[in-house]
Amino acid sequence: FIFASSIIFILIAIMKKKIYDINILFALGAKNKLIYCVFLWYSLIYIIFGIIFGTSIGLLISSYFDKIIQNIEKFLNTKFLSSNIYFIDFIPIKVIYSDIFYIILLVFSLVIICSSYSILKIIHKNSIKSILS
């Protein structure tokens, strides 16, 4: 959800910066559907790259998590999970690929829905401005 909300906020900020471009497209005679498709494609590119990089970095960190924690413990000269205090002295990690797929699907659908809403909101606002002027 943090990933999806950050992508959504980035897309909303991009849409607000692109209002001038949207107005130019309206002035050139572009229809709402064309503008919607252009900005939806723009958000799809962000989603795909975000999912690819986020998933690959997450899987890489989870596969080397024990070594990362050991290096941090060496650097800080402390032991996080001492074997005389806890039952285990490591953090068990199991990667379930079906869960990763469901999370990616959920994030993808959330970002598509929210970016579609923001695109339609901006198009509607600009189409009303172009009708009134």
pLDDT digits (tens, 9 = 90+) for 2-32: 766 776 677 777 777 777 777 787 778 878 8
DSSP string, the chain: -HHHHHHHHHHHHHHHHTHHHHHHHHHTT--HHHHHHHHHHHHHHHHHHHHHHHHHHHHHHHHTHHHHHHHHHHHHT--SS-TTTSS-SS------HHHHHHHHHHHHHHHHHHHHHHHHHHHHHHHHHHHH-
Q: What percent of the chain has pLDDT over 70?
A: 80
| pTM of model > 0.85 | no
pLDDT at residue 131 above 70?
no
Say which residue, 36 or 97, is predicted with more confidence.
97
For the chain, first and last CA: distance in Å? 40
Under 8 Å between Cβ of 46 and 10: yes
pLDDT at residue 107 above 80?
yes
